[in-house]
Amino acid sequence: MSWCFYYYPTLFIIAFSFCISQTLAAKISQTHNSLPFIWPLPAKFTFGNDSLSVDPSLSLIGNAAASAIVRTAFDRYKGIVFRNGNSFGGFLRTVTVDYDVTKLNVVVNSKSEELQLGVDESYNLFVSKDTTGSGKVTIEANTVFGALRGLETFSQLCSFDYSTKTVQIDKAPWSIRDKPRFPYRGLMLDTSRHYLPVDVIKQIIESMSYAKLNVLHWHIIDDQSFPLEVPTYPKLWKGSYSKWERYTVEDAYEIVNFSKMRGINVMAEVDVPGHAKSWGTGYPDLWPSPSCRMPLDVSKKFTFDVLSGILTDMRKIFPFELFHLGGDEVHTGCWTNTSHVNKWLENLNMTANDAYEHFVLRAQNMALSKNWSPVNWEETFNTFPTKLHPRTVVHNWLGPGVCPRVVAKGLRCIFSNQGVWYLDHLDVPWDEVYNAEPLEGIHKASEQKLVLGGEVCMWGETADTSDVQQTIWPRAAAAAERLWSERQSTSTGKSDSTALLRLQYFRCLLNRRGVPAAPVTNFYGRTAPIGPGSCFDQ
């Protein structure tokens, strides 16, 4: 053990920080031959000792080359792998190199390119040298989306060797048989508290694909702003912060398309009846009264007409089978103390809680009639568990122990316990994110199946373009491995575990790919490094 000294001249203090005798960077270099630096860790793999060089004009062969999704992904990954001025074989290179790997063979069994919940994302990836000494790389998958996951893994096996100036695959031969543990591996983005430009959302989606996340939960609208165009009710986006902070219908289509090309579903959210104050900027009738503005006025037919119009317009854009209807934090004071709403409650002999249930169930029926499965925040389940439609997916957030109760009632669940998976909670360190287990307390296999997976939530109160990516990464990656990899291989996230070495490595991989992922071991998420040092040590 040794002591590390950090000297802060401006503060005239010397802070002593206890640290392990070897830097992480040194440990990572040392273990590079014995550890697989693939994030998230594949389900099954073996590797050897060989190094194979990869041709910068690598070509795609196999039946998947006919798929635009696979072809464009192959081109993206080529851009990532051959970044070091090496795209044309190194423009200063004088000798020709005989590359070991010149072709990437991608074989896909199914022709269907429909992306839905539970789509087969499994793949096998084999890297070997045949008897003639030439390299062979094959990805086999049941769907193009499995092929995308395999391409991501392939890109992580490749690294630039600075002495030969070639891209190499180390530790060959590789045999990887991989599949996700959960079908739903999400990241929530909040574009109401702060507007995020379309290009920034795309960068986030791109970075999600590096960690094999597969659902973007788009919390588009909330109390603070209504940025989305709704053609049927064109005044709604008057609730945007400004005329520049808006999403057109075309923007939304583009985000869905961009996601699909990366095997990522977009689950949109319309959070009702609370969290909808911004709707009334365009249509003040949606407020109980001008002085009491939320929840939405439950007593008016107009409220449900508008909701129905929004859902009809959104159904055209969002093909994913899940749609989030919110339903959290419904404070009914404005219903009981606004006279026309209160009279309506009395006429129907309803309490405010009955009206909350009435609203949520009516919204569920609208979503169901459009062949969406409704997702609701857990308060709906906590308040009227037996009334929710059987197709409901309950979205946990308030704390631990909710999914066990949800699946015991036969409903499906998404795990997002705010104590560990809310990324805006900056004091949650990477290992607490990593160790959170969606199946905690659920023992029956039939009930475990009802846990679709989990999601890390990037609430936007203090996150905009200036800091959103470094708040998401690297901690979202810790959850991504939890959701993808086998439970037993991820149960040891401690500060001294190999998971830390691999996550450090993945954070630096994100940085290399231009993603501004923050240091892993800072006490507060997203803070800058505290001094000079290797990326692998921060």
Ligand X SMILES: *[C@@H]1O[C@H](CO)[C@@H](O)[C@H](O)[C@H]1NC(C)=O
Pick between residue 48 and residue 62 the one whose CB is nearest to ligand X: 48
Nearest approach, Cβ of residue 173 and ligand X (Å): 9
Nearest approach, Cβ of residue 304 and ligand X (Å): 22
Pick between residue 349 and residue 488 the one whose CB is nearest to ligand X: 349
Pick between residue 197 and residue 319 the one whose CB is nearest to ligand X: 319
The residue annotated as part of the active site, out of 329, 357, 378, 437, is 329
Which helix or strand (DSSP H or E) is residue 8 part of? Answer: strand 2-8
The amino acid at 366: M
Nearest approach, Cβ of residue 352 and ligand X (Å): 10
Nearest approach, Cβ of residue 110 and ligand X (Å): 15
Q: Which stretches of the chain bind ligand X, using CB under 6 A?
A: 48-49, 68, 257, 260-261, 292, 331, 333-334, 337, 349
Pick between residue 2 and residue 49 the one whose CB is nearest to ligand X: 49
Nearest approach, Cβ of residue 526 and ligand X (Å): 32
Q: How far apart are CA 153 and CA 136, in angstroms?
A: 15
Q: Which residue is nearest to ligand X (CB)?
A: 333
Helix (H, G, I), strand (E, B) or coil at 141: strand
Nearest approach, Cβ of residue 163 and ligand X (Å): 19
Residue 250 annotated in active site:
no
Q: What does DSSP assign to residue 342?
A: H
Contact 393, 409 (CB under 8 A): no
Q: Which long-range contacts (CB under 8 A, 24 or more apart) does 315-319 make?
A: 315/370, 315/372, 317/249, 317/252, 317/253, 317/256, 317/268, 318/252, 318/256, 318/266, 318/267, 318/268, 319/115, 319/256
Return the residue matching tokens 């900056």.
426
Beta strands 265-269 and 215-219 are parallel
Q: What does DSSP assign to residue 517?
A: P
Nearest approach, Cβ of residue 33 and ligand X (Å): 8
Helix (H, G, I), strand (E, B) or coil at 154: helix
Q: What does DSSP assign to residue 327?
A: -
Pick between residue 141 and residue 413 the one whose CB is nearest to ligand X: 141
Widest distance between CA atoms in the chain: 88
Pick between residue 250 and residue 285 the one whose CB is nearest to ligand X: 250
Residues 6 or more apart whose CB falls under 8 angstroms from that of 301 comprise none
Task: List the structure tokens of 18.
Answer: 């206890």
Nearest approach, Cβ of residue 291 and ligand X (Å): 8
Determine whether 371 is exposed, middle or buried from the number of CB atoms within 10 Å of its CB (0-12, 13-18, 19+). exposed
Q: How far apart are CA 262 and CA 29, in angstroms?
A: 31
Pick between residue 246 and residue 260 the one whose CB is nearest to ligand X: 260
Q: Is 533 left (phi over 0), alpha (psi -120 to 50) or beta?
A: left
Closest alpha carbon to 153 in 481, 469, 473, 455: 481
Please give the C-alpha separations between residue 139 and each of 164, 230, 233, in angstroms, as whole numbers. 26, 42, 47
Pick between residue 26 and residue 68 the one whose CB is nearest to ligand X: 68
Question: Active-site positions?
Answer: 329
